[in-house]
Structure 1
Amino acid sequence: MNKKLIIIAIMVFLCPIVWAQKQIDRSQELKIGQVMPDIPVQPVINYKQSNIDINSFRDKVVILDFFDTFCVNCISAMPKLQKLQNELGDKLQVILVTWQDQKTIEKFYQTNSFLKENKVKLPTIYSADLLRSYFPHIGVPHTAWLHRNKVQAITYSDFTKAENITALYTNGTIQLPEKSDFNDGLNSVVNVVSKDKDIGSVRITGYQDGVERTGIQINVDSITGLQRTTFYNMDILGAYTAAWSKIKKPTFLLKDERIIWKVQDSSRYKYFKGEEGVNEWLLKNGITYERYDKIKRSDSLQAKIMLNDLNAFLGLKVYWTTKVLPCLVIKPLKNKHKDPMPLKSEGGVEGTDVLAFMIDYQGAFPPIIDEAGAKMNIQIDDYSSLENLNQQLKVYDLVIIEGKRPIEVLLFEEAM
């Protein structure tokens, strides 16, 4: 695994997911509030027959939960959906929907021990090209709510809760934050900038409904000719780390130990996993940033300006510093092998700096520091414990010890 791939992996870890804007046919797309067309019966498994008539559930709340078998978040949410179906079956019909074929989905249910353990057996429509044309999307999970022959909501799976289902069933309508993978709502978010008169603007707002969540984008606006710097519906910690990564490429993962909070409530800035889903949390804590500049700058300089904007508008002081913390340290062995064994030259990690990243990535260890600086190819098969790591590292004349070192930390401080 080379350094370039490691940098990419770090960036994926630090920054929110940004879905690729694929060309998708939206000519048949159904919008919230539209009447549902008559849908022909769809092929299904986990149902009393081999096809299912969605139209027959018009008096119930119908949840169409789009997924695929590669989506970990989709699969982890299925027991919750099954529980809702079991509890609210008189009001609710959950239907899973996927583009994948029958053979793939049948094998998925037969071999997935997590679903078996949680007794998940929800009706699942496969090869769902028609439903995907009615509800086009880029990222999954993607949830469409139907009731009384209308599209009532298109949202994130976080909002599939008993109270929302009951409210829709009782009232006949519901307002939930819209999930949009196509940024249709941007016209309501951006400032209208005059090419001739305005020299720039900055706008920071809260969560913008109906706008796709994106990472930092720096480009030239085709209409105004101004440099446009934006991100949408991002967590505050993610915004800072994404900006910093444009100034200095990260060489480590930002584990919890590397963040120092000097704030009243850190949960405003970072999502801590709990009962509340990340999209519910973003609805309350996510921010949107837009800046237009007549002066065109490099990405790194623009990122520094963005950090100044965030500090000024959010009342924060966020910066890198060092702190002595417990950590692991990769060191060369003092007593080296007199007759070293021949080592493989391919298939491992390239150097101890990359090894440090891989150990950090496991999530089970304190931050790790590389003091060996070795550039050899290192083969590690078992990351389960420090003892097992050291057993494998002996052949390379390396050892990992526990210690304390000054390490880089990101300090979040609220301005007084």
Structure 2
Amino acid sequence: MKKLTILIVLALLCLKIPLIAQENQILSALKIGDTIPDINLTHILNYPSKKAKLSDFKGKVIILDFWATHCAPCIASFPKLDSVQRKLGNEVQILSITNETEAAIKTFLERYPAKYGPMTTVPQITEDKVLHRLFPHRSIPHYIWISKEGTVEAILGGFQFKPEKVEKFLKEGGLGELPVKIDIDGNIPLFSSELLPKAKLEDYRVFFKGRLEGIGAGTFPRRSANTIGICWTNELLIDLFKMCGLKIISGFSDKSLVIQPKDSLQLFYQKGAMPESDWIYANDYSVDFIVPKRDSTSLFRQVLAYINSRAPYSANVVNRRLAHLELRVTDKKALLPTKSDLYKNTLYKKVPGSMIAGPTRNFVSWFNEHFPDLPLLVDRTELSSPVTIRVEQQVSSVRELNDLLSEQGLMIVPSNKQVEMLVVSPNPKL
């Protein structure tokens, strides 16, 4: 009996050894020109079997699509990938790769048709570790192109993947000169390195036009012992202006924005001019701006001035006389007590709702978004401390809202004074 047990244990160990060997042989990342090993693929959905090997697709170009359920651009690319797979399936195999659980992806795929359209037919490799170690990356979508011979031919970002490039690759056997996607760490000054003496840094600013592959659209606050700043990556110019406006003008919303003219191809996509993805690729902007801490109060005005000095459009804060609404305090004693220091705002999700321990400008921003057809609301409360405001029933007019606010020491009133507006216009200097 003992002998039989020992034999079984040895047999199990032998089965496990190839898996351990596979884990160990992929510790180093692959680069263009390297040959990919014949690895085991497991936890597969949208495929006849739960398991496969890369060699099962021998003789085909393999495109690995790294994605996640939280990545909107990844999901938006599914129809494009599906179209390529259906059209060129005899010569190309697309494999979508995620490290999320099989159960999570199965649920996602079950809900996919109702939310996004026709079901994707591309095989889904879930719970992956091996391919993520072979091809480490920070941003997604992340594409790896592997030749029929098993060599890594291209490492591309989301905007670089185009169906026509796949057909060109099949016909010509190459993609020509394409930039290799290199992941960018947004937590350090853009394109800096360990050689940058950060402790001595007093000022750092860079500005890019065009999509930066290797990093998604994002916001990265900059803060050190001596400096403060902000970094925005892969945002449209109009959105950079809006983000500055949110920091400069209290209660800023789209109602605070004046654009002249509105038909600029550099601010807004115009259907038919070119594919929208190409336009975004060309008109994304990134800015990284760091200054000494003593300049913290004027940080976003400085950022806006810097963008204005580089971009084809400029945005300026201008006082204009305008028919608008004002939020005022009518009775400080009636203001709701704010017992918690933890900010919470459920108004954006639903009404009835409340804003707890928040600045009045956040309530103003909610109003301007919730009532797009009403005049601009401006904060005139002069309250510096957080407040609590409750909207405990559905409201469709200022009058109905005032019935609730009056019991909380607040009131919305009409006005015709000057208000701060963000005026965007062609840059006369460029």
Common fold: TM-score over 0.5: yes
Distance 1:357 1:317 in 2: 23
Q: 1:303 to 1:78 in 2, by over 3 A?
A: same
Match of 1:409 among 421, 425, 428: 421
Contact 2:211–2:282 (CA under 8 A) maintained in structure 1 = no
What is the distance in 1 between the residues matched to 2:416 and 2:113? 41
Q: Would you say 1:162 and 2:163 are equivalent positions?
A: yes
Q: Counterpart of 2:8?
A: none
Aligned residue for 2:28, secondary structure, equals coil
CA distance in 2: counterparts of 1:47 and 1:271, whole angstroms: 38
Q: Which residue of 2 aligns with 1:152?
A: 153
Higher Rg of the two aligned structures: 2
Counterpart of 1:312, as a letter, is: S
CA distance in 1 between counterparts of 2:178 and 2:155 reads 8
Instruction: Report the Cα distance in structure 2 between the residues aligned to 1:34 and 1:326, rounded to whole angstroms.
Output: 66
Gaps of 5+ in 2: 1-25, 331-335, 345-352
CA contact (8 A) 1:34 1:150 kept: yes
Instruction: Report the CA distance shift for 1:285/1:125 in structure 2 as closer, same or farther (over 3 A).
Output: same
Residues 1:321 and 2:333 aligned together: no
The normalised TM-score by structure 1 is 0.66
Query: 1:131 deviation in Å?
Result: 1.4
Cα distance, 1:231–1:119 mapped onto 2, change above 3 Å = closer
Q: Distance in 2 between matches of 1:330 and 1:187?
A: 40
Q: Judging changes above 3 Å, is the alpha-carbon distance between structure 1 residues 290 and 349 closer, same or farther for their aligned structure 2 residues?
A: closer
Amino acid at match of 2:156: T
State the Cα RMSD in Å. 5.1
Q: Distance in 2 between matches of 1:415 and 1:290?
A: 24
Q: Which runs of 5+ in 1 are unaligned?
A: 1-25, 334-341
1: distance between equivalents of 2:404 and 2:290? Answer: 56
Which of 346, 351, 355 in structure 2 is aligned with 1:349?
A: 355
SS of equivalent residue, structure 1 residue 138? coil
- 1:411 is matched by which residue type in structure 2? V
Question: Which residue in the other structure is 2:308 paired with?
Answer: 311
Structure 1 counterpart of 2:16 = none
Note if contact 2:317-2:421 (Cα within 8 Å) is conserved in structure 1. Answer: yes
Alpha-carbon distance in structure 2 between the residues aligned to 1:267 and 1:250: 26
CA deviation after TM superposition for structure 1 residue 159, in Å: 3.4
Farther off after superposition, 86-95 or 203-212: 203-212
Residues 25-104 of structure 1: matches in 2 within 5 Å?
28-104=28-104
Change beyond 3 A, Cα 1:141–1:323: farther
Structure 2 residue matching 1:298: 3-state secondary structure? helix
Counterpart mapping for 1:1-400 below 5 A:
28-114=28-114, 117-148=117-148, 149-174=150-175, 175-183=177-185, 204-207=207-210, 212=215, 215=219, 218=222, 234-242=235-243, 248=247, 251-255=250-254, 257-262=255-260, 266-269=264-267, 276=275, 280-287=278-285, 298-301=295-298, 304-314=301-311, 316-323=313-320, 348-350=354-356, 353-361=361-369, 368-369=376-377, 376-379=388-391, 386=396, 394-396=403-405
In the TM superposition, what is the alpha-carbon distance from 1:349 to its structure 2 partner?
2.0
What is the rounded CA distance, in whole Å, between the counterparts of 2:289 and 2:379 in structure 1?
A: 41
Give 1:128 deviation, angstroms.
0.7
Structure 1, residues 291-342: CA drift from partner, whole Å, max 9, x if none? Answer: 798x875344565555444433446542112456787877999xxxxxxxx9
**Higher RCO (CA 8 Å, separation ≥ 6 residues):** 1
Once the two structures are superposed, residues 69-109 of structure 1 have per-residue CA deviations (whole angstroms, 9 ceiling, x without a partner) of 23333333323332332233234323222111122222222
- 1:40 Cα offset (Å): 1.7
How far residue 265 of structure 1 moved from its aligned partner, in angstroms, is 6.1
Cα separation, 1, equivalents of 2:321 and 2:108:
47
Alpha-carbon contact 1:233-1:282 (below 8 Å) kept:
no
What TM-score do you get using the length of structure 2 for normalisation?
0.64
SS in 1 for 2:40: coil
Report sequence identity in percent. Answer: 20
Kept after mapping to 1: 8 A contact 2:367/2:377: no
Letter in 2 for 1:377: I
Distance in 1 between residues matched to 2:413 and 2:174, nearest whole Å: 60
Q: Which amino acid aligns with 1:369?
A: L
Q: CA deviation at 1:377?
A: 3.3
Partners of 1:393 and 1:121 lie apart in 2 by 54
Structure-2 separation of matches of 1:273 and 1:403: 39
8 Å contact from structure 1 (residues 177, 209) kept in 2: no
Q: Within 1, Cα distance between the matches of 2:233 and 2:74?
A: 23
